Amino acid sequence: MPWYHVRLSIDDLALGKHIRLQNMFETLFLSRGEPAEAVMCVNSNPEDDYTYYFSPPCADFLTGVLSRFGASACAHPVPESVVFLAGDAGLRGAGQRS
């Protein structure tokens, strides 16, 4: 199963889209009973870009949100290149599995 990413512009950040995206993730994650291995991460170097990553289990409960934000399937991000934002706390800092 693929990972998904959402790329936001600096203008998107100024409008608070990243906050809405994280809030939607957290609400749905909690309402679904905290699905195992479902995580939201962000690129660790914001000078490069503003990319948010979602692990494969997110597709089970976040499809509408991913579509709304123009998500695309992608490869598993390099664990050292992302920062954990929300989701399965057991994966915080451990690098996310594919």
Q: What are the pLDDT tens digits along the chain (98 aa)?
A: 899 999 999 999 999 999 999 999 999 999 999 999 999 999 988 776 799 999 999 999 999 999 999 999 999 999 888 999 999 987 665 444 43
- Which residue type is seen at 97? R
Residue 38 CA: distances (Å) to CA of 32, 62, 97: 11, 10, 10
The domain locations on the chain are 3-89
Bridge-based pairing of strands 50-54 and 3-8 is antiparallel
Phi, psi of 43 (to 5 degrees): -55, 135
* Torsion, Cα of 83, 23, 98, 44 (10° steps): -20
Structure tokens at 66: 């991913």
Q: How many CB atoms lie within 10 A of CB 31?
A: 9
